[in-house]
Amino acid sequence: MATIGHNNLNAKLVLLGDMGAGKSSLVLRFVKGQFLEFQESTIGAAFFSQTLAVNDATVKFEIWDTAGQERYHSLAPMYYRGAAAAIIVYDITSSDSFTRAKKWVQELQKQGNPNMVMALAGNKADLEDKRKVTAEEARVYAEENGLFFMETSAKTAANVNDIFYEIAKRLPRAQPAQNPPGMVLVDRPAEGARAASCCS
Amino acid sequence: MTESQDPFSYPPIDPVNFDLIIVGTGLSESIIAAASSAVGKTVLHLDPNPFYGSHSASLSLHDLTSYLISPPSLPPAATFSDSDHAVIDLVRQPLCSHAEIVPCASAEETEFFRENSRKFNIDLGGPRALFSADKTINLLMKSGAAQYLEFKGIDKSFVYEASGGGLVNVPDSRAAIFKDEKLLLTEKTRLMRFFNLVKQHENISEEDMESPFVSFLEKMKLPPKIKSILLYAIAMVDYDQDNNEVCKDLLKTKDGIDRLAQYSSSVGRFPNAPGALLYPIYGEGELPQAFCRRAAVKGCIYVLRMPVTSLLMDKVTALYKGVRLASGQDLYSHQLILDPSFTIPSPLSLPPSEFPSERLQILSQRDIKGMVARGICITRSSIKADVSNCSVVYPPRSLYPEQLTSIKALQIGSNLAVCPAGTFILYFSALCNDADEGKKLLKAAMNAILTLPVSGSSESIPIAQSDSEDIKPIVLWSAFYIQNLIMSKFDFISSTSTPDGNLNYDDLLDSTEKFFGQMYPNEEFFPKATSPEDTVDEDDNGLTLES
């Protein structure tokens, strides 16, 4: 959920798409400016945050990666809850991954928040000679389904920052809170754990 | 949740060898998955259900109804044989029984519930809440699972007093007790002495510390009302402490003092939570999901909708080797943990003649400690004006003389995203010896604060309650069920326990931690990580989303 305060927006962003499409690579490029040629399946990191300044506000993205739970279609409802934006990633060298991306869009339309900003990313755009999915085909699909579309390359960094900036620009500025915000537990040790009294 | 129709097909599970296979995604299993993954074990976590959480899930109204009425069973096992292993088929037994659902009386409400079914996240193991300073909260923070969760404070805690006009505030501060107009000055003075003594409890004799807490409270000459609040609404004791014959669990003074301390540390621990209790937004089913996500981040593989149908045992040694999935795939692991709904039929239907089956018989024996009755009611108004989320404790004998156990209740409103706007969910639970007693206890507790529809007639709901300040909300939909309390068992094939009758999860957590220690005696239960997750977070560490 995008929450607003003093022109600061907090927005949960989720990544979806086939294993190997480059979800984690996109995030690593965006957050750390890194690219690993042989990125392992997502283990170890699945939660990033990055702040972007757009014209009128700063947007702090909390980026959720799938942690591999998409592999056997076992993402928890928790993953979709309160997401303000989603990037559905496919690999332009794999028609299968594009077909699966469409299924992830359907899943998102079923589980997610209807005001969610959805982006379709055709990743691995640097591998032009192995291309199996045309940009035109993906653009038409995106337009028909209310997504915006970009081809990206985590390897060359092409369009990576752009896709996040575009999402930041499109986030509704005064979104009515669909669900009231709660509090996140912050580690602050309980004071006087043994001070026994129910009345202090 | 998602329908069983799976739009995705996926390849066989790869790899096929694991350190640990866990079946069922209840809270205990999910904590073990996260703890084992955190120390580098390879873990496969399966669930036959299409949802996370097993017996600690939060479900839509539709899914809850079907879960209670027609509990899931296992598909027939793939019967092809295996030359190396004895194949022992598992059976799945429902953990809930005696389910009764009273649907809406009016067509209009029925339609509303049908349309909004998915806006409900109803806890299967309710009532559940966490004390702000309890072990579970500390584990959520230590393990990193807390970063996926948001909580809200429970606004008020009440204790039911038939003579005192129904719901009485549980005083959770010194000021609240001293403002209480029902207490005499001498009683307030005694209370003051009591709290000072308890605060520096090194002044309490060893003999007193080992004595029953109820005797200690009497020795301190505390008034009955305060004694009852301390025992049942703060220390959360289940059985009548004044009746030694039926009391199965007499609380010692030292444990009572620890519970008071926990309650006291809970009040105000988090700035946005006024009372002692917290509840997760979207329901208790978020807790197992958060631990599963922690496990996944550390490499645990997740497969929902995948029943395990059989065990693979070594033909000669009868040692556990692996499991067979409903898909027909065989997977192997050093250890296996099953949720308590899985058992081995006894006697074995098809024991291979030379197979030493004695060891397996141990598994078919279940250690049932008792039962808990659970009830769920949905209303359109709160039991207390201007309060959305609150807990209620009915001490023993507060409803009728034969009431031997205390009853816990929790009302959760739509600001916790568990029900549509303008509705409330109430959970009730009580330990009991049989289903009839459980039902009697819960019906009495519901009747005391709610208006239950009169059976057989939808028109005769009495609305006129003019002189009462809080009009008893009308129950639109209700459910009742009995759940066995099955204890966990650690063996060559282990099983976890069912949700207990407590409000919080500390007992479950203790047994889960012990279980982990038996399985991996040389590993730490959630070693303190250098960073909670590889979180890249420049500007603040807390990620406090307050607004």
Q: Which residues of B touch A182 (CB under 8 A)?
A: 150-152, 272, 281, 416, 545
**Interatomic CA distance for residues B110 and B98, integer angstroms:** 23
**Interface contact flag, A72 B147, Cβ < 8 Å:** no
| CA distance from start to end of chain B | 29
Question: For A127-189, where are the alpha helices, taking DSSP H only?
Answer: 135-144, 160-170
Model pLDDT for residues B26-52, shown as the tens digit of each residue:
999 999 999 999 999 999 999 999 999
User: Reduced to 3 DSSP states, what percent helix, strand and coil does chain B have, rounded to the nearest 5?
Assistant: 30, 25, 45
Residue of B nearest to A193 (CA): B265
Q: Are B183 and B333 in contact (CB under 8 A)?
A: no
Q: Which residues contact B83 (CB under 8 A, 6 or more apart)?
A: none
* Banded pLDDT at B325 (limits 50, 70, 90): very high
pLDDT of amino acid A174:
57
What are the residue ranges spanned by the domains of chain B? 7-94+283-368+487-527, 175-277
User: Which residue, among B305, B343, B299, B288, has the nearest Cα to B18 in the 3D structure?
Assistant: B299
pTM: 0.89
Six-digit token string for B124: 């299967």
Task: Give A-chain residues touching B173 at CB under 8 angstroms.
Answer: 199-200
Query: For chain B, how long is the longest CA-to-CA vector?
Result: 81
Q: Which residues of chain A lie closer than 8 angstroms to B289, CB-CB?
A: 76-78
Q: Which one of A81-95, B316-330, B489-503 scores highest in mean pLDDT?
A: A81-95
pLDDT at B540: 36
A48 pLDDT band (50/70/90 cuts)? confident
Q: What is the DSSP code (8-state) at residue B234?
A: I
* Bridge partners, residue A122, by sequence: A90, A151
Instruction: Write out the two tokens for B323.
Output: 């499991």
Cβ neighbours of B530 in A, within 8 Å: none
C-beta atoms of B282 and A78 within 8 A: yes
Contact A77 B293 (CB under 8 A): no
Whole-angstrom distance, CA of residue A77 vs CA of residue B293: 11
Please determine, for residue B7, whether its predicted confidence score (pLDDT) is greater than 50.
no
Average pLDDT, chain B: 85
CA distance B420 to B109: 13
Report the C-alpha gap between B240 and B402 in whole angstroms. Answer: 10
**Peptide bond preceding B127: is omega within 30 degrees of 0, i.e. cis?**
yes
Nearest beta carbon to residue B544 from set A44, A79, A186: A186
Q: Is pLDDT at B5 greater than 50 in this prediction?
A: no
Q: Is the pLDDT of residue B269 over 50?
A: yes
Residue B490 in contact with residue B393, Cβ under 8 Å? Answer: no
Q: Do A67 and B52 touch (CB under 8 A)?
A: no
pLDDT at B529: 63
Decide if pLDDT at A192 tops 60: no
For residue B6, name the pLDDT band (cuts at 50, 70, 90): very low
How far apart are the CA of B542 and the nearest CA of chain A, in angstroms?
6
CA distance A185 to chain B (A): 6
Judged by CB atoms closer than 8 Å, whether chains meet at A45 and B201 is answered as no
- A76–B301 C-beta distance less than 8 A: no
Identity of the residue numbered A24: S
Average pLDDT estimate for B113-119? 91
Tens of pLDDT along B382-424?
999 999 999 999 999 999 999 999 999 999 999 999 999 999 9
Write out residues 276-335 of B within 8 Å (CB-CB) of A: 281-282, 286, 289-290, 292-293, 296-299, 301-306
- The per-residue pLDDT of chain A, averaged, comes to 82
Per-residue pLDDT at B349: 56
Chain A nearest C-alpha distance from B364 (Å): 30
Interface test with B, best of A43, A113, A197, A200 (most B CBs within 10 A): A197
Q: In sequence order, which residues have a C-beta less than 8 Å from that of residue B153 and are 6 or more positions away?
A: B132, B270, B272, B273, B274, B275, B277, B278, B279, B389
Say how far apart CA B403 and CA B387 lie, in whole Å. Answer: 28
A40 or B122, greater pLDDT = B122
Residues of chain B positioned with their CB less than 8 A from the CB of A78:
148, 282, 286, 289-290, 293
B296/A67 Cβ within 8 A: yes
Residues 6+ apart with CB under 8 A from A48: A27, A31, A61, A62, A63, A65, B535, B536, B537
What CA–CA distance (Å, rounded) separates A30 from A21?
A: 16
Q: Percent of chain A, pLDDT > 70?
A: 80
Pairing relation of β-strands A57-64 and A47-54? Answer: antiparallel
Q: Do the chains contact at A48 and B536, CB–CB below 8 Å?
A: yes
Kindly report the nearest CA distance between residue B305 and chain A, in angstroms: 9
Residues of B in contact with A40 (CB under 8 A): none
Distance from CA of B164 to the nearest CA of A (A): 22
pLDDT, one tens digit per residue, over B346-372 is 665 555 555 666 666 666 777 888 899
Of A46, A78, A188, the CB nearest to B286: A78
Amino acid in position B40: G
Cβ-defined contact of B140 to A185 (cutoff 8 Å): yes
| Predicted pLDDT of residue B137 | 94
Please give the Cα distance from B122 to B104 (Å, whole number).
Answer: 17
CATH homologous superfamily of B7-94+283-368+487-527: FAD/NAD(P)-binding domain (3.50.50.60)
Would you say residue A125 has pLDDT above 80? Answer: yes
Q: Is 50 exceeded by the pLDDT of residue B453?
A: yes
Nearest CA-CA partner of B413 in B103, B119, B10, B182:
B119
Q: Could you tell me the sign of the dihedral formed by the alpha carbons of A123, A124, A128, A130, in that order?
A: negative
Closest CB to A183: pick one of B151, B175, B533: B151
Give the range among A17-31, A118-132, B34-48, B244-258 with minimum mean pLDDT: B244-258
> Which tokens in the block code for residue A54?
């757009």
CB pairs under 8 A between A and B: 196
Query: In this complex, is the C-beta atom of B27 within 8 Å of any C-beta atom belonging to chain A?
Result: no
Residue B426 to residue B376: CA distance in whole angstroms = 6
Q: Span B75-83, mean pLDDT?
A: 66
CA nearest neighbour of B159 among B228, B216, B219: B228
Asked whether the CA dihedral A36, A38, A40, A41 is positive or negative, the reply is positive
Find the range with the poorest average confidence among B214-218, B219-223, B290-294, B436-440: B219-223
Q: What is the pLDDT of residue B494?
A: 87
Q: What is the pLDDT of residue A197?
A: 34
Could you write out the three-class secondary structure of B137-174? HHHHHHHCHHHHCCEEECCEEEEEECCCCEEEECCCCH
Say which amino acid occupies B389: N
Q: What is the dihedral of CA B260, B279, B102, B429, to 10 degrees?
A: -20
Residue A200: pLDDT over 70: no
The reported pLDDT for the residue numbered B145 is 92
Q: Using CA atoms, how far apart are residues B239 and B246, in angstroms rounded to an integer?
A: 8
Distance from CA of A141 to the nearest CA of B (A): 19
The answer to whether the beta carbons of residues B335 and B81 sit under 8 Å apart is no
pLDDT surpassing 50 at residue B533: no
* Cβ within 8 Å, pair A179-B417: yes
Give me the pLDDT at residue A193, please: 37
Cα B257 from Cα B217, distance rounded (Å):
11
Averaged pLDDT for residues B281-310: 94
Q: Closest chain B residue to A101 measured between Cα atoms?
A: B8
Q: Of the candidates B10, B543, B546, which has its C-beta nearest A72's C-beta? A: B10
Where does the pLDDT of residue A187 fall: very low under 50, low under 70, confident under 90, or very high at 90 and above? low
Least confident of A136-145, B76-85, B238-247, B476-485: B76-85
Q: Output the pLDDT for position A195.
A: 33
Residues of B in contact with A31 (CB under 8 A): 536
Q: How close A182 comes to chain B (CA, Å)?
A: 5
Minimal C-alpha gap between A151 and chain B (Å): 25
- The reported pLDDT for the residue numbered B30 is 97
- H-state helical runs in A33-134: 77-80, 95-111
Q: Which of A40, A66, A74 to mutate to test the interface with B (most CBs of B within 10 A)?
A: A74
**Chain A touched by B33 (CB under 8 Å):** no
For residue B530, pLDDT over 90 is answered with no
Sign of the torsion angle spanned by Cα atoms B337, B339, B340, B342: negative
Residue B225 amino acid letter: K
Of residues B473 and B243, the one with the higher pLDDT is: B473
Q: What is the pLDDT of residues B63-72, one digit of tens each?
A: 999 999 886 6
Select the highest-mean-pLDDT range: A17-21, B267-271, B440-444.
B440-444
Q: What's the fold here for domain B175-277? A: Guanine Nucleotide Dissociation Inhibitor; domain 1 (1.10.405)
Instruction: Find, among B25, B95, B100, the residue nearest to B69 by Cα.
Output: B100
Stated as kind and residue range, the H or E segment containing A59 is strand A57-64
For residue A69, which residues of chain B lie inside 8 Å, CB to CB?
A: 292-293, 296, 302
Measure B295 CA to nearest chain A CA, in Å: 9
- For residues B302-329, give the mean pLDDT: 90
Q: Which of A53-57, B52-56, B456-460 has the lowest mean pLDDT?
A: B456-460
Greatest mean pLDDT range, A174-183, B51-60, B249-258: B51-60
User: Which two three-digit tokens encode residue B175?
Assistant: 């000021």
- Alpha carbon distance B73, B76 (integer Å): 9
Half-sphere exposure of B22 (CA within 13 A, CB side): 29
